[in-house]
């Protein structure tokens, strides 16, 4: 487990000390991307991201960050490089509010944002679209793949992602994960502040800032904003765990035995059931969304997490 902690923390520290542009030294041409998604409460909500276009590419990968993440999260840079090396374009997608503009909150099952992104005018020219989600973003892409996805969406992959939201919350809120909880809640507070200044929300900024657990965060923010009765109602309705047999595309989950944030015990009960078209690859090394450079999942692409995952996304049917 100690190695899992080191693999989780060290890449974030390195990234914070020497942040680089996600597309530095690759062949993509970057441009700002945005679209609107219809919303029952606000009318419409703006979504944002970074579109990296590779000349002649007919395929694109939409990359979705984890809870509190954004386009500049350390794993997004690795994903961008791996996608471009495979000759595809990418969209480093930011769910509503992730860009700190105060648009709105999002949650683990809010697939409307992905529907709007896939349908956006800038992506219409791509013949094939793949989805890659990290941590909670992986839960989001898996859930999307169970809900009649766009016909162009050929495959989805999730890295270190929860499947049962209640089990994941209980594991994450344990005292032993205090450090990670402080980190994630700190990022979520930063996201909530501009929303509270712009929107009429049920919970005050002071109450949300004082939240000490993920469950409390969900109770104060997600539950009232989206009409759930309580956190358990949210977790039950939105968890992809009971929908995996409805996956409409091939799907991949990469999980780490040493993950301190989404530990194996939060996944194993779900994986013992019918998981439909979900392929699961366990990695002995690494931590939460961070792995050694020589990780080999047995796919024909270059070694390393991104090279292996992108290789699978391109040809999931041939790698069964």
Please tell me the predicted confidence (pLDDT) of residue 285: 84
Owner of token pair 């004082």 = 210
275: number of Cβ within 10 Å: 17
Please tell me the predicted confidence (pLDDT) of residue 21: 46
Phi, psi of 139 (to 5 degrees): -60, -40
119: number of Cβ within 10 Å: 13
Q: Name the CATH architecture for the domain at 2-319.
A: 3-Layer(aba) Sandwich (3.40)
Please tell me the predicted confidence (pLDDT) of residue 25: 44
Asked whether the CA dihedral 78, 102, 206, 213 is positive or negative, the reply is negative
Q: Are the CB atoms for 141 and 156 separated by under 8 Å?
A: yes
Please tell me the predicted confidence (pLDDT) of residue 320: 41
pTM confidence score: 0.93
Please tell me the predicted confidence (pLDDT) of residue 315: 86
Map out the domains of the chain as residue ranges. 2-319
Please tell me the predicted confidence (pLDDT) of residue 257: 93
Q: Are the CB atoms for 61 and 156 separated by under 8 Å?
A: no
Mean pLDDT by 10 residues, the chain (320 residues): 56 57 66 96 96 96 96 93 96 96 96 98 97 98 97 98 98 95 95 95 95 98 98 98 96 95 96 95 90 93 94 75
Please tell me the predicted confidence (pLDDT) of residue 9: 57
Radius of gyration, alpha carbons of the chain:
18
Q: Are the CB atoms for 251 and 280 separated by under 8 Å?
A: no
- The residues near 43 (Cβ < 8 Å, ≥ 6 apart) are none
């Amino acid at each position: 487990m100690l190695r899992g902690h080191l693999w989780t923390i060290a890449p974030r520290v390195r990234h914070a000390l020497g942040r680089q542009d996600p597309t530095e030294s690759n062949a993509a041409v970057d441009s700002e991307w945005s679209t609107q998604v219809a919303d029952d409460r606000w009318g419409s909500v703006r979504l944002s991201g970074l579109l990296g276009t590779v000349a002649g590419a007919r395929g694109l990968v939409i990359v979705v960050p984890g809870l509190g993440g954004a386009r500049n999260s350390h794993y997004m840079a690795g994903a961008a490089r791996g996608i471009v090396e495979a000759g595809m374009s990418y969209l480093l997608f930011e769910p509503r509010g992730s860009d700190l503009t105060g648009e709105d909150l999002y949650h683990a099952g809010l697939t409307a944002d992905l529907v709007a992104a896939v349908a956006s005018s800038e992506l219409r020219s791509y013949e094939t679209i793949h989805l890659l989600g990290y941590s909670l973003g992986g839960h989001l892409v898996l859930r999307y793949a169970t809900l009649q996805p766009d016909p162009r969406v050929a495959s989805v992959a999730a890295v270190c992602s929860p499947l049962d939201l209640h089990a994941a919350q209980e594991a994450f809120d344990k005292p032993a994960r205090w450090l990670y909880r402080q980190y994630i809640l700190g990022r979520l507070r930063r996201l909530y502040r501009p929303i509270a200044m712009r929107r009429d929300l049920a919970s005050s900024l002071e109450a949300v800032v004082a939240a000490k657990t993920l469950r409390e965060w969900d109770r104060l923010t997600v539950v009232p904003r989206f009409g759930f009765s309580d956190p358990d109602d949210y977790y039950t309705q939105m968890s992809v765990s009971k929908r995996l047999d409805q996956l409409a595309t091939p799907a991949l989950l990469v999980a780490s035995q040493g993950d301190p944030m989404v530990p194996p015990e939060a996944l194993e009960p779900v994986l013992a059931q019918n998981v439909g078209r979900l392929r699961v690859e366990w990695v002995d090394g690494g931590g939460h969304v961070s792995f050694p450079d020589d990780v080999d999942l047995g796919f024909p692409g270059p070694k390393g997490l991104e090279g292996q995952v992108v290789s699978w996304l391109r040809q999931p049917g041939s790698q069964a």
